[in-house]
Structure 1
Amino acid sequence: MSGSAARIAGGQAKAPGGHNPWIVALVVALATFMEVLDTTIANVALRYISGALAVGPDESAWVVTSYLVANAITLIASSFLAKRYGRKAFFMWSVALFTLSSVLCGFAWSLESLLFFRVLQGLGGGGMAPLAQSILADSFPPEKRGQAFALYGVAIVVAPVIGPTLGGWLSDNASWHWCFLINGPVGVIALALMYWLIEDSEAAKRERRALREKGIRFDLVGFLLVATFLGSLEVILDEGQRKDWFGTSTLMNVFGVLTVVSFLAMMPWLLTAKNPVIDLRLLKRRQFSACFVVMLFTGAVLISTTQFIPQITQEYYGYTATLSGLVLGPGGIMTVVSMLVVGRVSSFIQPKWLIAAGGTIVALGLYDLTRLYGDTTFGFFAWSRIYIGIGLPMIFLSVTSASYEGLPKDKTDQASALINVARNVGGSMGVSLAQNVLAYRSQFHQSRLVDTLDPSSPAYQQTLSQATRYFQQHGFAGPDAQNQAVAWIGQQLATQVAYWAYIDVFWVLAVLTAGLVPLALILKTVKLGGGAPAAH
């Protein structure tokens, strides 16, 4: 029994291959859950990773950004490759690469090896989400697809909620390696079930034959240009601050040239090619380009806050990785609730109003984070994340439906790929931007505080005297007590610098998010109730 229009046997609709479509949906959701989980599971483990591999926090952030960029690169190619070589085959190859590279990440012996395996992991994971939607659409009759996509949506939403808490617990109680090794057995089980359960529909087979007969080939030139541009740009954003940008660094100059040259070659190629790997002509449409920018900024806020809240709570508030993950938990739960509510109200409220409202709520949540200080509590961070969790689904769901407005049906694949690329690239750029703001503002506040710190001032001498007495009372004698006091004052200064720098980071993210509001208001009014087409 085959075909996307499932036949009825005993009252039960069958998926291609004659299997129960709900079992197929569970297998697809399992694989997708595993991939989405890896966008957040390592965030709370970065402190352990940087310690084990002897690198700084800014370098360990590559673990997040390298995955997102590689993921985005595969996204642009996944639609064509799946059509050309078969959805089942490409999906299984993607899961196999993702699983193998996950295990290799767990055995990484240096930052360089971890980043290499993490890139492979991102390349494997990039094709899984869009292919999962195509397989679900083929496995269910039209009247049942809504329920199937609801199950898929639960996996997409719940995975980022569980990721930080699970990653923190594994890091505290086992090892950071298990944040990646856990994918091994899950991936093997998923592969075995896919081989048994998933079959390409007759429509997909006909499409594959048609592509072969027409001799339509993959746009390798366009793909390499896009990959070079995104990869080189990310190296610049991640390494620029540490390498002093383009002043003395040969590495920065080389990647700067690569970025400019690949961009200048990429634009005319993609705009004029007969079958481009990604259709940039869609960005000429005001509606779609506005949605693209909205998703770019939203990805930046989502990923950067998921990394920086655990980072500050572990470094300056003494939280364990598990507790840092739990800080994000209430916000994740609220995201699930908000998605359910937004899904209902979106049938009678225009996307532009939901995006504007969501941007306002997220900006206020980020503004709330600018009020942090030395005695900030768990509840403060949790509530700030809850506000963000309420607003983000209002943006994500609405921008997806708004982006398809006015597009021909044969462009929905390309539109879906571009919107997902915007989310991932925005996420990696957001992390890099936040790291650079943190570094620059730390230097700024450090110099300002040191300038105002006068060792001969009465206030300084009084503080030094009190601190010296404290250390004398705790077993330090003479010069040792005073040295400890001076070190303590320096530590307090560094901590205050860090608080102010993180506050500046949250200010920048709040301003960026607030900028989404006027951008949302220029979106067109769309027809409500139809829903966005499924990405194939």
Structure 2
Amino acid sequence: MSAATAAAGDEARAASGGTNPWAIAMVVSLATFMEVLDTTIANVALRYIAGGLAVGPDEAAWVVTSYLVANAIVLTASSFLAELFGRKAFFMFSIALFTVASVLCGFAWNLESLIAFRVLQGLGGGGMAPLAQAILADSFAPAKRGQAFALYGLAVVVAPVIGPTLGGWLSDNASWHWCFLINGPVGLAALGLMHVLLRDSPGAAEARQRRRKAGIRFDLVGFLLVATFLGSLEVVLDEGQRKDWFGSTFIIVFATIAILAFVAMIPWELTRKNPVVDLRLLGRRQFGACFVVMLATGAILIATTQFLPQLVQEYFGYTATLAGLALAPGGLVTVAVMLVIGRVMNLTQPKYLIAAGATMVALAMYDLTRLSGESSFWFFAWSRIYIGIGLPMIFLSITAASYEGIAKSQIDQASALINVARNVGGSIGVSFAQNLLATREQFHQSRLVEAVTAPNPAYQETLRAATAYFVSHGTAAVEAQRQAVAWIGLQLQTQVAYLSYIDVFWALCLLSSALIPLALILSRTEPHGDAPMAH
């Protein structure tokens, strides 16, 4: 071992309190892997969850959106709470809450209990992501941080790849409950290792003492306003279609609460010295544009991760495992492209990579509009591969572009807001796509039913041919006609579903296309080696 290598090792150990920093990196990455895994593992299992709890697919979507919203809410407060209580204490609390909530999700007895436990799970998970990056930065000497963040980034990227396939396999071969129960032993292992290995750095302890002496307090009012706004908005988006939107007093009440919380939040946060959300950042053209891009990207990513498995399971007869495997090639491509983009970013301005990524995602959505009853496994897999090429261009480039012109003291806020944008965008995307699907199903149903009438020669010919088919297979004439009518009705419903999903993919295609000019107005950036990573 060279003297330089030994010196670097000693420096790294000093930064990590004497513990091997790579052991800390492994534990932090394990906890992060578990948290990110839960953003996708339940998507493929939603059909089983809906059946097991006797609810519709649109109601089961709450399992995804409630987690994302709770995760986003706690992200806004995680930095302050970590400084107040110490990174180790808050990180361990987050892991413990996430693990306990995961086990409770596995034992949920109805949809309401599952949603409540998913909210707790999201609150625990939201505190882990930003802390993981700060812990790694403290544990490693500057020269080694790049390798540590590469390990962390690998966990962030691989987890969504494994999530759908693992969730599908567990649902098919055990039960959907195990999609959550599997976090129990992993969480306990991470918690025990974290207790043994992790120490708060002297610098973090000193910063905590300075904050306490300065009398800086947590912006509780701002936090409650943010939570009220996001929570009420999600209720409106998820329940609006089922409750006839503003024809329902329930929806009117929650919409009013969301508007009042949003209106009150703006002046309150703009006048605080230590706001839970620094709204001034969103007023900057550069950061505001990056926030919107991440919002839309999260919507596309999470919506497609839910809707593709839902589509192939309901109308193409896929098992949950096969539905997860249809997403897997795209995830593998994402890992490979991230490694390439990490090098290309040093040679190309982020705004061009974001525009290229948005173009690729738009083409992927356009490709999905070719959906038909003849679509094969690889039709869906290739669409996900195209998305897997485009998304890393956006996610990695957003990090570089969003920190341009941001003061060092605002980096934690900026990192939290970018992650909030991804989660809130994902939640809104799922709700929007679900509502659009239901609305377009009603439209196409009414249009196609107009053609299924007795006077229509085409309908009569189809009915005659279908009846003859059933008679030829030994069915009595009267019963054969009933079966023929039922078969025509089934074909109509299937066609309605195809057309409705195509409309959703068109909407996501237009949303992706809108990101291209938005990306091109971004300013030129300089490299930021220590910028936190959005995931």
| TM interval, short-chain normalised | over 0.9
What SS does the aligned partner of 1:203 have? helix
The amino acid that maps onto 1:90 is F
Shift of 1:473: 3.2
**Equivalent runs, 1:103-122 vs 2, <5 Å:** 103-122=103-122
Equivalent position of 1:314 in the other structure: 313
Q: Which amino acid aligns with 2:293?
A: V
TM-score normalised according to structure 1 size: 0.97
CA distance in 1, matches of 2:216, 2:7: 32
Cα displacement (A) at 1:112: 0.3
Query: Partner residue of 2:466?
Result: 467
For 1:225, the equivalent position in structure 2 comes to 225
Contact kept, 8 Å, 1:7 with 1:13, in 2: the verdict is no
Task: Report what 2:366 is aligned to.
Answer: 367
Name the aligned partner's letter for residue 88 of structure 2: K
> In the alignment, what sits opposite 1:533?
531
Aligned amino acid, residue 185 of structure 1 = P
Return the offset for 1:452: 2.3
Residue 476 of structure 1: CA displacement? 2.7
- What is the Cα deviation at residue 307 of structure 1? 0.5
Q: Paired residue for 1:208?
A: 208
CA distance in 1, matches of 2:299, 2:428: 6
Partners of 1:53 and 1:110 within 8 A in 2: yes
* Corresponding residue for residue 152 of structure 1: 152
* Superposed counterparts of 1:78-477, under 5 Å: 78-247=78-247, 249-477=248-476
Specify every segment of 5 or more residues in structure 1 that has no aligned partner in the other structure, as ranges.
1-5
For residue 3 of structure 2, what is the aligned residue in structure 1? Answer: none
Q: Deviations over 1:248-275 (max 9, x none)?
A: x221111011111101111110111121
The answer to whether the Cα contact below 8 Å between 2:12 and 2:141 also exists between their aligned partners in 1 is no
Separation in 1, partners of 2:266, 2:480: 64
Q: Which residue of 1 aligns with 2:40?
A: 40
Output the CA distance in 1 between the equivalents of 2:511 and 2:262.
Answer: 25
Superposed counterparts of 1:10-25, under 5 Å: 13-25=13-25
Contact 1:8 1:14 in 2 (8 A): no
Which residue in the other structure is 1:56 paired with? 56
Hey, what's the Cα distance between the residues in 2 that align with 1:441 and 1:347? 44
How far off is 1:142 after superposition? 0.2
Q: Separation in 2 of the partners of 1:518 and 1:218?
A: 38
What is the CA-CA distance between 1:534 and the residue it aligns to? 3.0
| Distance in 1 between residues matched to 2:320 and 2:497, nearest whole Å | 19
Q: Verify the 8 A CA contact 1:14 1:20 in the aligned structure 2.
A: no
* AA aligned opposite 1:154: L
Distance 1:9 1:482 in 2: 80
The count of aligned residue pairs is 529
Say whether the 8 Å CA contact 1:360–1:514 is kept in structure 2: yes
3-state DSSP of counterpart to 1:452: coil
2: CA distance between counterparts of 1:497 and 1:114? 31
| Partner SS, residue 43 of structure 1 | coil
Q: Is the 8 A contact 1:164 1:326 kept in 2?
A: yes
Structure 1 CA distance for aligned equivalents of residues 9 and 72 of structure 2: 40
Q: Does the CA-based 8 Å contact 2:12-2:21 persist in structure 1?
A: no
Q: Supply the distance in 2 between the matched residues of 1:297 and 1:104 (Cα, whole angstroms).
A: 32
Deviation at 1:460, TM superposition (A): 1.2
Q: Contact 2:399/2:531 (CA < 8 Å) preserved in 1?
A: no
Deviation (angstroms), 1:9: 7.0
Superimposed CA distance per residue, residues 382-424 of structure 1 (whole angstroms, 9 cap, x where no aligned partner): 0111001000000000011100000110000000011000000
Quote how far apart the aligned CAs of 1:456 are. Answer: 2.3
Deviation, 1:461, is 1.4
The 8 Å contact of residues 7 and 14 in structure 1, kept in 2 or not, is answered as: no
CA-to-partner distance for each residue in 1:233-289, whole Å, 9 max, x for gaps? Answer: 011011101100011x22111101111110111111011112111101111110000
Rounded to whole Å, the distance in 2 between the matches of 1:50 and 1:480 is 33
SS, match of residue 245 in structure 2: coil
Matched residue, 1:484: 483
* Whole-Å separation in 1 of the counterparts to 2:257 and 2:10: 60
Instruction: Please list every run of 5 or more consecutive structure 2 residues that lacks an aligned counterpart in the other structure.
Output: 1-5
Q: Distance in 2 between matches of 1:278 and 1:100?
A: 28
| Cα distance in structure 1, aligned partners of 2:453 and 2:235 | 40
AA aligned to 1:501 is S
Kindly provide the amino acid, as one letter, of the partner of residue 438 in structure 1.
L
Question: Identical aligned pairs, as a percentage?
Answer: 72
After TM superposition, give the deviation of residue 453 of structure 1 in Å.
2.2
Alpha-carbon offset, residue 299 of structure 1:
0.2
Q: 1:310·1:321 contact (CA, 8 Å) conserved in 2?
A: yes
Over 3 Å counting, the alpha-carbon distance change for 1:253 and 1:7 in structure 2 is farther
> Which amino acid is the alignment partner of residue 265 of structure 2?
M
Which residue matches 1:3? none
Quote the Cα distance in structure 2 between the aligned partners of 1:154 and 1:285: 31
The secondary structure found in structure 1 opposite 2:343 is helix
Query: Secondary structure of the residue that 1:246 maps to in structure 2?
Result: helix
Is the alpha carbon distance of 1:264 and 1:457 closer, same or farther for their aligned partners in structure 2, counting shifts above 3 Å? same
Give, in whole Å, the separation in 2 of the partners of 1:113 and 1:143: 47
Which whole-Å deviations, capped at 9, do the CAs of 1:107-145 have from their partners, x for residues lacking one? 000000000000000000001010000000010000000
Listed one character per residue, the Cα deviations across residues 143-167 of structure 1 (whole Å, up to 9, x for unaligned) are 0000000000000000000000000
Separation in 1, partners of 2:180, 2:21 = 30
Cα RMSD, aligned residues only: 1.4
Q: Is the 8 A contact 1:17 1:197 kept in 2?
A: no
Q: Deviation at 1:468?
A: 1.3
Alpha-carbon distance in structure 2 between the residues aligned to 1:42 and 1:434: 17
Question: In structure 2, what is the Cα distance between the partners aligned to 1:12 and 1:263?
Answer: 45
Partner secondary structure for residue 45 of structure 2: helix
Cα drift, residue 62 of structure 1: 0.6
